[in-house]
Structure 1
Amino acid sequence: MRKANIFIIAIFISAVIIAVTSGGIKADSNTFFKTISLYLVFSLLYYHLRIQSKNGSMSIDYGISYSLSIGLFTGPLGLLLYETIYSFIIYFTRKYTKTADPDEFIHTFYNIGAFVLSNSLAYYLFYNYQPYFQGTPFGFWVFLLVLVIATTLLSDIFLLVIFRLWGEIRSVKEAIKFLKDRSFLDTIKAALTNGLLLLFLAEEKWEILIVLFMLNYIVSRSFLEKSRSVQNKAERDHFEQMAYTDFLTGIPNRAYMDKKMSELDQSGEDIGVVVADIDKFKAINDTYNHAVGDKVIQHYANTLKSYLSVDDLLFRSGGEEFTLLLRKRNFNETVALLEMIRNGNNDSQVVTEFKNTTVLINYSASYGLYYYKTGEKISIEKAYIYADHLLLESKQLGKNHLRANKELIIS
Structure 2
Amino acid sequence: MLKTRIYELSLFFTSVAIVFFSSNILADNTSFIMALIVFWFFSSLYFRLRVFFKNGNTNIEYGISYDLSLILFAGPFGLFIFETLYRFTVYFYRKWAKMADPNEFFDTFYNIGSFVITHSIAYFLFQHFYSSFQSFPFGYWILLFGLVCLSSYLSGAIMLILFVTLGEQKSFKEGIDFIFRDISLLDYGKVAITNGLLFLFLKDGKWEMIISLFILNYIVNLSFYSKSQSIQNKLERDQFEQMAYTDFLTGVFNRTFMDKKMAELNQTGEDIGIVVADIDKFKGINDNYNHAVGDKVIQHFASTLKSYLSQEDYLFRSGGEEFTLCLRNRNYTQAVDLINRMLGGIANNSVQVEYNGEIRTISYTASFGLYFYKVNDHTSMEKAYIQADELLLQSKQLGKNQVSALNGLLNKKVV
Alignment TM class, shorter chain as reference: over 0.9
1:57 and 1:340 mapped to 2: Cα distance? Answer: 53
1:165 Cα offset (Å) = 1.9
The count of corresponding residues between Structure 1 and Structure 2 is 409
1:176-219: CA deviations, max 9, x gaps? Answer: 23213251432222111111111111111111111111111111
1:54 and 1:279 mapped to 2: Cα distance? Answer: 49
Unaligned runs of 5+ in 1: none
1:108-143: CA deviations, max 9, x gaps? Answer: 112222222222222222122211111012111111
Normalising by structure 1, we get a TM-score of 0.93
2:32 and 2:176 mapped to 1: Cα distance? Answer: 39
1:246 and 1:36 mapped to 2: Cα distance? Answer: 57
2:357 and 2:12 mapped to 1: Cα distance? Answer: 60
Q: 1:101 corresponds to which residue?
A: 101
Alignment of 1:387-402 (within 5 A): 387-402=388-403
Conserved? CA contact 2:352–2:359, under 8 Å: yes
Q: Is 2:347 the counterpart of 1:346? A: yes
1:6 and 1:121 mapped to 2: Cα distance? Answer: 22
3-state SS, counterpart of residue 330 of structure 2: coil
Change (3 A) 1:118 1:361: closer
1:195 maps to amino acid: G
1:381 Cα offset (Å) = 0.7
Q: 2:155 corresponds to which residue?
A: 155
2:208 and 2:51 mapped to 1: Cα distance? Answer: 28
1:225-258: CA deviations, max 9, x gaps? Answer: 1122222222222222222222322221211111
Alignment of 1:360-375 (within 5 A): 360-375=361-376
1:331-385: CA deviations, max 9, x gaps? Answer: 3433333233223332223334433444333221112222222123122112211
Q: 1:290 corresponds to which residue?
A: 291
The farther-off stretch of 386-395 and 201-210 is 386-395
Q: 1:83 corresponds to which residue?
A: 83
Q: 1:41 corresponds to which residue?
A: 41
Alignment of 1:136-147 (within 5 A): 136-147=136-147
Q: Is 2:11 the counterpart of 1:11? A: yes
Change (3 A) 1:22 1:278: same
1:296 Cα offset (Å) = 2.3
1:263 Cα offset (Å) = 0.6
Change (3 A) 1:289 1:135: same
Change (3 A) 1:292 1:199: same
3-state SS, counterpart of residue 319 of structure 1: coil
The farther-off stretch of 108-117 and 287-296 is 287-296
3-state SS, counterpart of residue 193 of structure 2: helix
1:356 and 1:36 mapped to 2: Cα distance? Answer: 70
2:235 and 2:105 mapped to 1: Cα distance? Answer: 36
2:80 and 2:340 mapped to 1: Cα distance? Answer: 80
Change (3 A) 1:98 1:324: same
1:95 Cα offset (Å) = 1.2
Alignment of 1:223-302 (within 5 A): 223-302=224-303
Q: 2:111 corresponds to which residue?
A: 111
Change (3 A) 1:334 1:153: closer
The farther-off stretch of 375-384 and 145-154 is 145-154
1:104 and 1:357 mapped to 2: Cα distance? Answer: 52
3-state SS, counterpart of residue 242 of structure 2: helix
2:168 and 2:124 mapped to 1: Cα distance? Answer: 33
1:170 Cα offset (Å) = 4.2
RMSD: 2.0
Conserved? CA contact 1:59–1:101, under 8 Å: no
1:173 maps to amino acid: K
Change (3 A) 1:363 1:34: same
3-state SS, counterpart of residue 304 of structure 1: helix
1:305 Cα offset (Å) = 2.3
Change (3 A) 1:128 1:266: closer
Conserved? CA contact 1:367–1:391, under 8 Å: yes
Conserved? CA contact 1:144–1:195, under 8 Å: yes
Task: Name segments (4+ residues, structure 1) moved above 6 Å.
Answer: none
Conserved? CA contact 1:370–1:405, under 8 Å: yes
Q: Is 2:321 the counterpart of 1:336? A: no
2:60 and 2:313 mapped to 1: Cα distance? Answer: 48
2:398 maps to amino acid: L
Q: 1:222 corresponds to which residue?
A: 223
Change (3 A) 1:307 1:59: closer
3-state SS, counterpart of residue 175 of structure 1: helix
3-state SS, counterpart of residue 257 of structure 2: helix
Conserved? CA contact 2:153–2:180, under 8 Å: no
1:231 maps to amino acid: Q
1:13 and 1:359 mapped to 2: Cα distance? Answer: 65
1:47 Cα offset (Å) = 0.6
Q: Is 2:72 the counterpart of 1:68? A: no
1:314 Cα offset (Å) = 1.7
2:331 and 2:162 mapped to 1: Cα distance? Answer: 70
2:377 and 2:23 mapped to 1: Cα distance? Answer: 90
1:14 Cα offset (Å) = 2.3
1:373 and 1:28 mapped to 2: Cα distance? Answer: 85
Q: 1:385 corresponds to which residue?
A: 386
Change (3 A) 1:377 1:73: same
Conserved? CA contact 2:280–2:364, under 8 Å: yes
Change (3 A) 1:21 1:344: closer
Normalising by structure 2, we get a TM-score of 0.92
1:332 and 1:6 mapped to 2: Cα distance? Answer: 77
Alignment of 1:14-25 (within 5 A): 14-25=14-25
Conserved? CA contact 1:58–1:101, under 8 Å: no
2:336 and 2:119 mapped to 1: Cα distance? Answer: 76
Change (3 A) 1:289 1:36: same
